[in-house]
Amino acid sequence: MKIDRDKKGLSNYTSLKKAEVPEVRRGTSSSFGQELNQKQGINRQYKMQEILAEIDKVNERLGRSLNINDLMTYKMLVKNFLKEASLEAFELDKQRGRSRRGRSMLLTIKTIDKEIEEVINDFIKNKTAPTEVLEQLDKIKGMLLDLMA
């Protein structure tokens, strides 16, 4: 096979001018990060809903018979919920700078934490009636639902 090395045949091919070449555009570097944050947020919301369902179950048990073991389980679940909510607040704060939502969420978390400690301490010292404990637990659950919104 003979290879023709002269350049006479090259004139038949058109050269690509710079204007004809399509330019490859890069997507924004944050589009992946935004999608990842969105998926993590959805996952975090799902976890928070699962924890809230567990809190409902424990709350029903507490309604039937109020005992310290279920109260401690309730406290642990609330702590887990607050941990997830604080991660979301941190992400909101990181994404939007000093957002009001992030700070208010952290203040709500501190309030809920203080409330749950008061409920358990009052129950241990027998200062409150069982109905008052259940009312306080409903109040705490309302605050947890506010965090979800």
Count the domains in the chain: 1
- CA-to-CA distance for 147 and 48, rounded, in angstroms? 10
Q: How many residues would you count in the chain?
A: 149
pLDDT of res. 97: 46
pLDDT of res. 83: 84
Report if residue 69 sits inside a domain: yes
Report if residue 89 sits inside a domain: yes
Report if residue 141 sits inside a domain: yes
Report if residue 12 sits inside a domain: no
> Which DSSP state fits 22?
P
pLDDT of res. 123: 83
Residue ranges making up the domain that contains 132: 42-148
Which DSSP string corresponds to 68-113?
HHHHHHHHHHHHHHHHHHHHHHHHHHHHHSS-HHHHHHHHHHHHHH
Report if residue 70 sits inside a domain: yes
Report if residue 53 sits inside a domain: yes
Report if residue 122 sits inside a domain: yes
Report if residue 104 sits inside a domain: yes
pLDDT of res. 14: 58
- CA-to-CA distance for 59 and 70, rounded, in angstroms? 8
Q: What is the pTM of this model?
A: 0.60
Low-confidence ranges of the chain (pLDDT < 70): 1-30, 88-106, 149
Domain of 55, CATH number, reads 1.20.120.490
pLDDT of res. 99: 46
pLDDT digits (tens, 9 = 90+) for 68-101: 899 999 999 988 888 887 776 655 545 544 445 5
